[in-house]
Structure 1
Amino acid sequence: MLDLRQFAVLHAVREGGSLSRAAAELRLSVPTVTHHLDALERHLGARLVNRGPRGATLTALGAMFADDVDDVLGRLELATRKVDDAREAGAVTLRIGTFSSAGSRLLPEALNQLSAATPVFLEIEEGEPTSLAGKVRAGELHAALVYDLEGDPALDHPELTRQELDIEPLTVITAAGSELADQSVDFAELASQPWIRSRDRAGAAERQLVRLAAAAGFHPRTLTRTDDYTMVHGLVAGELGLALISSASIDPRFAVAAVRVQQPLGARRIAYVTPADRPTPASLRLGEILARHTSLDQL
């Protein structure tokens, strides 16, 4: 197996002209230098170095190989220098969790502002709010965008610091050509309709749909379960069922319309959460940037 140390040894032999000078340059013993050269020659099946009492010189094949790996060593040196420079500049890695519907609107501009103010490397993980909040508590994420129901803070936890960002009303959507489109109806009138429901049974919209249906005296009939909003919109636009989603998540590319339900449908709260006892400076800075905006639409 090739080893970058073998390349460095070959390069040092070429420059120094002897195994002892190569060993001194690399701060290795001569037997260690010999070991690396032997391993490299065995792997390539060719003699790379002529060794004698007056020193060591590269063979024609050794010189050709050394020239080719110079680029590898140069790129390694450059990569190492970049890491050193970034570390000295205070660069850190910030791991952020998000869900797609809000994250796609909120995070890009906020993270651009953070990167402009702080040397930071970003890692973004998409997932469901309950899972993301758990990863923040476990230290797997530095912060996350999450949501739950207004008046039902399922994700509040003593190990999390929560910063409210927005409140998004929930709405029922139907196909734009449906007789329910833009009509005022009692929620009980939707009892016979099939629903596109979330796979996350602890999710805000799913829990609210079950509550609303129970209050209206029925159990929602399931067409399918998916958390892919493109699929949700496609199925609704195709007149296959209804969905309860955030009004801010309605995708104008699809022919869907809101159903005007007479009962309050509730709302979901968008929040930014960090560990209560160990927030990082970068995550706090991102929270400050987000705090300057009271609505997702302002970013």
Structure 2
Amino acid sequence: MSNVVQLQSFKSVATTGSVRSAALHLGLSPSAVSHHIKLLEQDTGLTLFQRQGRGLCLTDIGSAIMGEVDSMLESSSRLQQRITDLKDRRVNRLSISYFSSAGNRWMPELVLFLEHKHPHTGVQLSLAEGQWHESRSDIQIIITETKEPVLPPQVNSSFLLEDPYVVAVPETHELASRSEVTLAELDRLPWIDNEQGDGPCRTILFDACARAGIRVQFKHEAHTFVAALHMVSRGLGITLLPRLGIDQLPAGVVIVPLAAPEPIRYVHAISDPGHPQQDVIDDAISALHELASDDAVAR
């Protein structure tokens, strides 16, 4: 059976669309990641990836096993975390799933806060695509299309942030000096993709474009906000992304707000009521509110 390292490489390549990006994420060499994928395909007798432009995408077979791979990696992560907790005499554990831009902005401060406030509770983090899933984590930081999403009655939902989309343009672009711009005005410009798959971020953007009467066509593909912003800095086109996704703006890039119909994503913290560590969950969500509030004020 395939080992955990091979499955980690499989998931990272599937997520980033690139062996090089996956290697950077995992702290491995590209050749090591390629070797893991090759061994995994040999062990299973399946073709898991195919070329797409300069990157890689999952085959139908690869997509079909992604759910089981996620489950195995989550189980392995929980086991390893539990072992670490016991070594550190941390008898309790709090699991938090988050999407990437929330992780970049909030997770370091949140973990630091919990380490000090609840030193005997281990914090386990996992990266997710931003949608709610039953029994995924004690706290799930998710993206929704509305401020008041319809969720099962057995969960608590705490609204954190309204996160509007903006357009990033080169500082020499004619739109760079504008106070706002409509989606219709961006119709014929070269767009840079910054998302992979059909997650909520892409759905929210595409729905807004449909309301504006424009058809999305990407000239270039980048699979992360960071990569897309750097492509903008090289003058390769424009990219649309949520404000929270801008961790550090590259030199030569200007952000312009979008006018109605403005794409907006909403960020919530989801938890189960009556949890054995409800006090830890309450403190964590309160800290998330403060972090989200600081981001909102900074805008």
Q: Output the TM-score relative to the length of structure 1.
A: 0.60
Gaps of 5+ in 2: 1-82
Q: 2:281 matched to which residue of 1? A: 283
**Alignment partners' CA distance in 2, 1:259 and 1:203:** 22
Deviation at 1:158, TM superposition (A): 3.3
Letter of the 2:163 counterpart: E
Find the structure with the greater CA-based Rg.
1
Letter of the 1:123 counterpart: Q
Question: Which stretches of structure 1, 4 residues or longer, exceed 6 Å deviation after superposition?
Answer: none
Q: For 2:240, what is the secondary structure of its paired residue? A: strand
Deviation at 1:97, TM superposition (A): 0.9
Equivalent in 181, 199, 204 of residue 202 of structure 1: 199
Q: 1:269 matched to which residue of 2? A: 266
Aligned partners of 1:169 and 1:268 also within 8 Å: yes
Deviation at 1:96, TM superposition (A): 1.2
**Alignment: residue pair count:** 209
Deviations 1:62-115, CA, capped at 9 Å, x for gaps:
xxxxxxxxxxxxxxxxxx9x938825xxx3122211122222222222222222
- Map residues 247-258 of structure 1 onto 2, 5 A cutoff: 247-250=243-246, 251-258=248-255
Aligned partners of 1:175 and 1:236 also within 8 Å: yes
Letter of the 2:130 counterpart: P
What do you get for the CA RMSD once the two structures are aligned?
3.0
Question: Structure 1 140/102 Cα, relative in aligned 2: closer, same or farther at 3 Å?
Answer: closer
Q: Output the TM-score relative to the length of structure 2.
A: 0.60
Question: Structure 1 223/161 Cα, relative in aligned 2: closer, same or farther at 3 Å?
Answer: farther
Letter of the 2:86 counterpart: V
- Map residues 42-121 of structure 1 onto 2, 5 A cutoff: 83=86, 86=89, 91-118=91-118, 119-121=120-122
Q: For 2:112, what is the secondary structure of its paired residue? A: helix
Aligned partners of 1:185 and 1:259 also within 8 Å: yes
Deviations 1:230-276, CA, capped at 9 Å, x for gaps:
21111222222222212233322342212354434142222111135
- Among the aligned pairs, what percent are the same residue? 22
**Alignment partners' CA distance in 1, 2:157 and 2:251:** 34
Question: Structure 1 227/209 Cα, relative in aligned 2: closer, same or farther at 3 Å?
Answer: same
Q: For 1:171, what is the secondary structure of its paired residue? A: strand
The alignment status of 1:246 with 2:210, answered yes or no, reads no
Q: For 2:191, what is the secondary structure of its paired residue? A: strand
Question: Structure 1 291/185 Cα, relative in aligned 2: closer, same or farther at 3 Å?
Answer: closer
Q: 1:13 matched to which residue of 2? A: none
Question: Structure 1 191/124 Cα, relative in aligned 2: closer, same or farther at 3 Å?
Answer: same
Q: 2:227 matched to which residue of 1? A: 231
Q: 1:128 matched to which residue of 2? A: 129
Gaps of 5+ in 1: 1-79
Equivalent in 155, 161, 164 of residue 156 of structure 2: 161
Q: For 2:89, what is the secondary structure of its paired residue? A: helix
Question: Structure 1 150/283 Cα, relative in aligned 2: closer, same or farther at 3 Å?
Answer: same
